[in-house]
Amino acid sequence: MNLQKTIFTTLATSLLVTTNAQAFDVIKGEDINSGGLNTRTTLNQTKQAEQQFLNRLDSTVGTENFENITSNSNSNLDLSFPGAGTATLGGNGEIHNIQNTSSSAIAYDLEQGLYPSSGNKYWFTEAKPQGNSSFTIDFSEDISAFGFYAYDLGDWGAKLTLKLYSNNQLVDTINNLHTVKTNGSTTGSAIYIGIVGELLSSGVYETFDRVEFTTTGNGIVNTSHDIFAFDDMTIAKSNQLETISYAD
């Protein structure tokens, strides 16, 4: 289930790379689906964002694509990553397989544009307002990089925020991750987010050990939460990052 990283060199100039006021660089790519229900967006900007993120890591990291995960319960899911320990997915979630065409849940997913970014499986989950059983990931080791794909966020007004913690202390809040609409016009759009700790002048990378997926809305129907497909998750410890530059 852990695929070895491939080095890529071709990057698109339209990708967004931002530096937060705190301690993490954010690489973002978004592919808007304008086809409406029952259509699947083509991954262009998201694939290039993933490539740019992976180029910040060395060849020892792995990516979880959920293809070998058989659990279909709402309990926590523990995943192992080469050299980076384990990641525990919490909150309400389960494996969905788009080949299971007899399932009414999968049929609804496909109508709403929820797909895996690779293979046939993904983690079906939900982001909610903070403190309300939202999707979380806890890491057994301090990590410095975290990347993932997500399908079908923000089409009815919900806005995703990522909160990074270290030893129960909030170390960064990452906003503006995707387009937000209120009429379903971006149903099935995809994003790729890559987060990388900055290398400080002391030679130490910033780290975190927990990610919380939270949402805010604006009073439109279904904006207090957002159900989405989560796939191709990559994590790395500080010793698995390629040295780029020192932060000021």
Domains (range + CATH), the chain: 2-240 (2.60.120)
Higher-confidence residue of 156 and 7: namely 156
10 Å CB burial of residue 95 (0-12, 13-18, 19+) is middle
The identity of residue 172, as a single letter, is D
Report whether pLDDT(231) > 50.
yes
Q: What gap in Å lies between CA 17 and CA 70, rounded to an integer?
A: 35
Q: What is the pLDDT of residue 3?
A: 47
Task: Tell me the pLDDT tens digit for each residue of 98-156.
Answer: 999 899 999 999 999 999 999 999 999 999 887 667 899 999 999 999 999 999 999 98
pTM: 0.88
Q: Report, as an integer, the average pLDDT of 199-210.
A: 89
Contact status, residue 26 vs residue 18, Cβ threshold 8 Å: yes
202: pLDDT confidence band, cut at 50, 70 and 90? Answer: confident
Please list the residues that pair with 16 across neighbouring strands.
Answer: 28
Q: DSSP of 168-207, one letter per residue?
A: TEEEEEE---S---SSSTTTT-EEEEEEEE-B-TTS-B--
**Three-class DSSP labels, 11-64:** CCCCCEEEECCCCEEEEEEEECCCCCCCCCCCCCHHHHHHHHHHCCECCCCEEE
CA 218/CA 182 separation, integer angstroms: 9
Whether residue 114 contacts residue 151, with contact meaning beta carbons closer than 8 Å, is answered with: yes
Query: In the prediction, which pLDDT does 131 show?
Result: 66
Q: Residue count of the chain, please give it.
A: 248
Q: What is the pLDDT of residues 114-127, one digit of tens each?
A: 999 999 999 999 99
Tokens of 55: 């180029």
